[in-house]
Amino acid sequence: MITIYVARHGQTEYNVLGKIQGQIDTPLTDEGYKNAFLVANKLKGIKFDHIYSSDLGRAFITAHVIAEKLGLENRIVRERKLREQNFGEFNGMKFEELKNTGFIGNPNFTPKDGENFEQMQKRIVKFVFGLEKLHKDKTALIVTHGGCINALKGYFDNINLRDCLKTKNCNEYIGKFVIDKSILISYEKINGL
């Protein structure tokens, strides 16, 4: 069994502009740093054995702010498998620019040079199952991206992929997943949408 807290990175410049980031990086805004501090305060008192972060800067910086506040700054493992969905040619575009592409709301649409939602979900779930085997009876923090959070929640709640795409979460989201033998034992939303 493993207990995993999952947090989303703080607000970024592209979040403000309504642009798709995917696997490109934009810096946190001042509000993004505030998001990270708020998440850290919500996590105070929890003993984390391990901290994992997407290797993208927006997640890693958020993880660093959280870890520093919790006195764990030298314990972050950067992990490519925790990256947001690769939106390929759509990275950096505004959502409204994609209305007629077949991409919006379609979990099986694979952008050129990218991956579809289902591929990303499999990547994230496989990583989480690996953590369960690696860190039995431990508590871990994962700092990742909105799409990854939706993918995890969708997988464990058995939500169809199309509905996963409709799920909302915010830059202050924290969820607690208790997993045993690849089965979700409990889920609790600690903070955010």
Burial (CB < 10 A; 0-12, 13-18, 19+), residue 168, is exposed
Burial (CB < 10 A; 0-12, 13-18, 19+), residue 63, is buried
Residue 72 is assigned to a structural domain of this protein: yes
Residue 43 is assigned to a structural domain of this protein: yes
Residue 95 is assigned to a structural domain of this protein: no
**Which residues contact residue 144 at a Cβ distance below 8 angstroms, ignoring those fewer than 6 apart?**
6, 7, 8, 9, 53, 54, 59, 82, 84, 124
Residue 163 is assigned to a structural domain of this protein: yes
Residue 101 is assigned to a structural domain of this protein: no
Taking each helix axis from N to C terminus, what angle separates 146-156 and 117-134, rounded to the nearest 10 degrees? 70
Residue 113 is assigned to a structural domain of this protein: no
Question: How far, in Å, CA of 121 to CA of 108, rounded?
Answer: 11
Cα-based distances in Å from 190 to 19, 34, 55: 27, 17, 24
Structural domain total, the chain: 1
Instruction: From first to last of the 193 residues of the chain, give the pLDDT tens digit.
Output: 999 999 999 999 999 999 999 999 899 999 999 999 999 999 999 999 999 999 999 999 999 999 999 999 788 999 999 999 999 999 999 988 988 888 888 899 999 999 999 999 999 999 999 999 999 999 999 999 999 999 999 999 888 888 877 777 788 999 999 999 999 999 999 987 6
Residue 115 is assigned to a structural domain of this protein: no
Domain encompassing residue 172: 2-17+24-78+125-191
Find out whether 90 and 115 touch, Cβ atoms under 8 Å.
Answer: no
Which residues are the active-site residues? 9, 84
> Domain holding 42: CATH number?
3.40.50.1240
Residue 139 is assigned to a structural domain of this protein: yes
